[in-house]
Amino acid sequence: MKKRVESAPKLNLTKSMAMLEEAQRLTPGGVGGIRRPYNFVIGEYPVFIERGEGGHIIDVDGNEYIDMLCAYGPIILGYVEPEINEAVKKRMDLGFCFSLVQPVQNELEERLAQILPCGEQTIIVKTGSDATNAAVRAMRAYTGRDVIARCGYHGWGDWCVENHGGVPQAVVELTKEFEYGDVADLERVFAENPGKVGGVILTPVGHPTAKAVVPPPDGYLQAVIDLCHKNDTPICFDEIRTGFRVAMGGAQQRYGATPDLTTVGKAMANGYPIAAVVGKADILGVYVKDAFLSSTFFSNSLEMVAAMKCMDILEREKVQDVIWERGTRFLDRLGKIVAASGVPVTMSGIPPMPFLTFDHADDHYRERRTEFYTQCIRRGLFVQPYHHWYIAYRHTGEDLTRALDVVEESLAYVAQEYPYSA
């Protein structure tokens, strides 16, 4: 007879809950977007974080967690990186927001063009949504066509937002979705919109929301590129998540398929707000006179300095190789844990980006998912039910072993409380 697994004790979240109540008076929902409590487990997860260190975060109540959400992806090294912060402080003392640009802009744009296989020219922006919006506008201006074919999550622009509230229906209808890994489905979009598709944007490693993380099937990315070019349509790889994480030159380098444009962000500066569109000069050249792009803060240099220093560290320490090696071991043991658990759950992902999905096997899959993440957070592992996980450079071997132990303990508790018979 198996030994009974006890539930981990509930966390003290008194300060977080009080701050959330105050925040709900101050801003809609109290917390913005995907950081709202209903995206976690309400009443079990902290809402306010006090500080971070290495691969850990500490909430306002003093609870410490191994963080495998990594601020939704920007933290590729670890929290509070001294080299990056010192470089930023040095630039801060000289000023960083001016009416004109600063020399580091040229240095960063040149470096990005050299690192990314598609690189010819670069436009620096602030966020992932800035970058995907700018890429889509460039493709539309370049082709003179309005329809965009998309596959993946690309931010909160009107052309791609998941919730259509406040978005004109005419704008919604200009975006056509296609299935990841299925070239024929993209062919369908071209066939149904002859001569109208102005651009295609694709996440090269698929991550359908809350379903799986899917590596590209052999030959898929190149087949998509070839199909786009056959239709005289530019293609953009949205590498906001994969850029600088799966390889220095992103998924396009690792999987050997070069798009016309790419967007990068997140891991580019280890948490400082910066992103970029990189790609063919003739397409990005529309911003000289045929299209408009501007922001007061795009030319601020602190983030550019942080990006340059982050890339120094990534290259010097061969960070992606280390993460890939650790992640391979992590996925290997995770797969064994899942197989032995008896819980209807599916492992997916690539080594830098693992994920677990609770199968719709019976009427209890929601309860299993909720209980699993409840037990994980109580045991000190910070992951999220609707988003894949990340492995960061500062996650130690001890951190990753403990994370896997927590997963094993939590699945054992779920199997006990919600038994499943196939």
- pLDDT at residue 1 in the model: 57
Same-domain status, 182 and 282: yes
Q: Is the pLDDT of residue 116 over 70?
A: yes
- Tell me 11's DSSP state: P
- pLDDT at residue 320 in the model: 98
100 in a structural domain: yes
C-alpha to C-alpha distance for 33 and 319, rounded to whole angstroms: 30
Same-domain status, 100 and 62: no
Closest listed residue to residue 241, CA positions, set 32, 35, 71, 39:
71
Does pTM top 0.85 for this prediction? yes
Domain limit, last residue, from 311, 337, 355: 311
Same-domain status, 68 and 148: no
Same-domain status, 88 and 35: no
The residues, any chain, with a CB within 8 Å of residue 102's CB and separated by 6 or more, are: 96, 299, 301, 304
Amino acid making up residue 168:
P
Judge whether 150 and 201 are in contact, CB under 8 Å.
yes
5 in a structural domain: no
Read off φ and ψ for residue 361, nearest 5 degrees.
-80, -30
The residues, any chain, with a CB within 8 Å of residue 55's CB and separated by 6 or more, are: 66, 67, 78, 79, 392, 394, 395, 396, 399
Closest listed residue to residue 148, CA positions, set 178, 183, 182:
178
Same-domain status, 30 and 116: no
**Helix or strand or coil: residue 354?**
strand
Sign of CA dihedral 239, 240, 243, 245: negative
Same-domain status, 222 and 276: yes
C-alpha to C-alpha distance for 258 and 225, rounded to whole angstroms: 8
Largest Cα–Cα separation, the chain? 74
4 in a structural domain: no
- What percentage of the chain reaches a pLDDT higher than 70? 99
- pLDDT at residue 40 in the model: 84
Same-domain status, 65 and 113: no
Same-domain status, 138 and 277: yes
Q: Is the pLDDT of residue 165 over 60?
A: yes
Taking the mean position of all CA atoms in its chain, how far away is CA 368? 25
* Ramachandran assignment for 244, one of left (phi > 0), alpha (psi -120 to 50 degrees), beta (any other): left
* Stretch 107-122: mean pLDDT: 98
Amino acid making up residue 48:
F
Judge whether 118 and 252 are in contact, CB under 8 Å.
yes
Strand order in the sheet with 197-202: 121-125, 275-279, 261-264, 235-239, 197-202, 147-151, 175-177
Domain count, the chain: 2
**Long-range CB contacts for residues 17-20, cutoff 8 Å, separation at least 24:** 17/43, 17/47, 19/47, 19/48, 19/60, 20/47, 20/48
Structure tokens of 416? 């006990």
Same-domain status, 174 and 95: yes
**Mean pLDDT of the chain, nearest integer:** 96
Q: Residue 90: how many CB atoms within 10 A of its CB?
A: 10
176 in a structural domain: yes
259 in a structural domain: yes
Domain that holds residue 224: 82-311
303 in a structural domain: yes
- Domain of 91: which CATH number? 3.40.640.10
Same-domain status, 405 and 296: no
C-alpha to C-alpha distance for 257 and 117, rounded to whole angstroms: 9
The residues, any chain, with a CB within 8 Å of residue 117's CB and separated by 6 or more, are: 249, 252, 253, 258
Same-domain status, 33 and 49: yes
pLDDT tens, position by position, 296-318: 999 999 999 999 999 999 999 99
pLDDT tens, position by position, 338-392: 999 999 999 999 999 999 999 999 999 999 999 999 999 999 999 999 899 999 9
Q: What does the angle CA 393 – CA 86 – CA 310 come to, to the nearest 5 degrees?
A: 35
- Domain of 34: which CATH number? 3.90.1150.10
| DSSP states along 93-136 | TT-S--SS--THHHHHHHHHHHHSTT-SEEEEESSHHHHHHHHH
394 in a structural domain: yes
Same-domain status, 100 and 234: yes
* pLDDT confidence band for 35 (50 / 70 / 90): confident
Judge whether 279 and 119 are in contact, CB under 8 Å.
yes
198 in a structural domain: yes
